[in-house]
Amino acid sequence: MPKIPKDFENRISPAFRERFLEIAEEFDCSKKELAAKFSVSESVLTRAEIYGIVPSLKILIKIADALEISLPYLLGETDDRAFYPSEEGTSFHERLKDLTEEKHTTYAKIAHHMPFSKNFFYEWQRAKTLPSLDYLRVLAEFFDVSIDYLLGRTDER
């Protein structure tokens, strides 16, 4: 049996696998060269190719940045390849803080609408970590922005 993450069932996406294979086909290079282009390990690409396992958010961002595409496009959630990178260079942490202030609310109040506690907000800000893709999606929905906007990858809400 192949060694794959134990929570792989929750991270498999046929749409992501299909999009990944489509993108990989555009490059005339080995998996090793493709991994180097994306600054990820070959095993990440193998899991995406064979199983459709969606990698961590940090790895998804690396791949999307290298290709200059949106995360929803990479994940196979849209066929719109248009992407306009941020000129501001804003981080997720700054955007989260700005959007919270823009809504005139607090992390504690936002957490009441989330499937996670307010402690996550403080951990993300303190440790400069990123939420899981699932948490990022509910945050983006709450703020009525795209996940790429929330991450600071684009200035297009």
Task: Determine, yes or no, domain membership for 86.
Answer: no
One domain, residues 115 and 67: no
Task: Determine, yes or no, domain membership for 130.
Answer: yes
Q: What is the number of other CB atoms lying within 10 angstroms of the CB of residue 55? A: 23
Give the closest residue to 18 by CA, choosing from 43, 40, 47, 48.
Answer: 48
Domain containing residue 27: CATH number: 1.10.260.40
One pLDDT digit (tens) per residue for the chain, 157 residues: 344 444 445 689 999 999 999 999 998 888 899 999 999 999 999 999 999 999 999 999 999 999 999 999 999 999 999 999 999 889 999 999 999 999 999 999 999 999 999 999 999 999 889 999 999 999 999 999 999 999 999 999 9
Q: Give helix 57-67 / helix 31-38 axis angle, nearest 10°.
A: 100
What is the count of structural domains for the chain?
Answer: 2
One domain, residues 16 and 44: yes
